[in-house]
Amino acid sequence: MRSSVKGSGNVAATADDTEQHTDPASATPRAHRPRRMGPVAMVVSFFGELLITAGLVLGLFVAYSLWWTNVVADREAGQQADKVRDAWAGGPGNGGEGGGPASYDSKNGIGFLHVPAMTGDEILVEKGTSMKVLNDGVAGYYTDPVKATLPTSGKKGNFSLAAHRDGHGAKFHGIHKIREGDPIVFETKDKWYVYKTYAILPETSKYNVDVLGKIPEESGRKKAGHYITLTTCTPVYTSKYRYIVWGELVRTEKVDENRTPPAELR
């Protein structure tokens, strides 16, 4: 701070109590001499500038949260999705036996979620629901506190997923547009898993881990089955509650050569 005094004499000049305001060196030619402020005016002006600065920073934070994180996440998700598609195209199914990297490398994502009622985009699904995973603009399947049952395992259970409502790709932003009966389709390398929405819980506590259960009883089902659960935060722009959508497997379809989507997506 002291070093800044070197450049011009005006700051040092104010330190002494003589109210002689003479600083010809630093004054720009056209500047007429401004009035000195009293202590109250100075404090007010200092807080005024602090408030202006805080307002600007908060405004920038909103822009960061709702716009910039989407830009970054969409780019990241797009790259990862391309990797998965490439691995699928070059995997054992197409290019002979055993070639290419393992198509179910959990790091790369296990498939794509299609929910036409919510978004026209496909959503890459990866392992885990940590912020690090979800911030890449993907949906994550739960490993904690209740482990998701992957549809590819063929077992009965609950395929539970989470994604951001706002920012970081905002993949589940339109979750409130899903109605009962709407299709939720999960695409893997060689199968389409077609689910049908059968229950929606528009607001629940963030501690309600029962919604992830193998048999999500709150959805009204009492028997084991192939379920899918989408979770995100609600209301929009906050994280006060959780929004839950449940679906049940209707059928699976083999992926054909052209990856023709099932009727629900056409």
Partner 1 sequence: MAYGAGLMPWYDGRDGMYSWIWRHLPGNGWVRALLSLVLITAVVYVLFQYVFPWAEPLLPFNDVTVDNQ
Catalytic residues: 164, 233
Closer residue to partner 1 (CB): 105 or 210: 210
| Minimum CB distance to partner 1, residue 37 (Å) | 5
Residue 203 near partner 1 by CB under 8 A:
no
Residue 57 near partner 1 by CB under 8 A:
yes
Closer residue to partner 1 (CB): 36 or 75: 36
| Minimum CB distance to partner 1, residue 75 (Å) | 14
Residue 5 near partner 1 by CB under 8 A:
yes
Residue 64 near partner 1 by CB under 8 A:
yes
Residue 11 near partner 1 by CB under 8 A:
yes
Residue 20 near partner 1 by CB under 8 A:
no
Which one of 74-82, 151-159, 237-245, 256-264 is the stretch in contact with partner 1 (CB under 8 A)?
237-245
Closer residue to partner 1 (CB): 240 or 251: 240
Residue 36 near partner 1 by CB under 8 A:
yes
Q: How far is CA 194 from CA 15, 117, 242, 251, 265, in A?
A: 76, 14, 24, 6, 10
Residue 233 near partner 1 by CB under 8 A:
yes
Closer residue to partner 1 (CB): 166 or 264: 166
Residue 49 near partner 1 by CB under 8 A:
yes
Q: How many residues does the chain have?
A: 266
Residues 153-182 that bind partner 1 (CB under 8 A): 162-168, 172
* β 191-204/139-141 pair status: unpaired
For the residues of 101-158, what is the DSSP string, one character each? S-TT-GGG-SEEEE-TTT-SSEEEEEE--SHHHHTTT-EEE--SSSPPPPGGG--SEE
The values of phi and psi at residue 197, to 5°, are: -65, 130
- The H-or-E segment that residue 39 falls in is helix 39-63
Residues 117-156 that bind partner 1 (CB under 8 A): 129, 131, 134, 142, 144-145
Exposed, middle or buried by CB within 10 Å (0-12, 13-18, 19+), for 49?
Answer: exposed
Q: What is the rounded distance in angstroms from the CA atom of residue 110 to the CA atom of residue 161? A: 12
Closer residue to partner 1 (CB): 18 or 258: 18
Count Cα atoms within 13 angstroms, Cβ side, for 125. 25
Q: CA-based Rg of the chain, rounded to a whole angstrom?
A: 28
The values of phi and psi at residue 191, to 5°, are: -145, 145
Three-class DSSP category at 21 = coil
Residues that bind partner 1 (CB under 8 A): 1, 4-5, 7-8, 10-11, 14-15, 17, 26, 28, 34, 36-39, 42-43, 45-46, 48-49, 57, 60-61, 64-65, 68, 129, 131, 134, 142, 144-145, 162-168, 172, 204-209, 211-212, 231-233, 237-239, 242
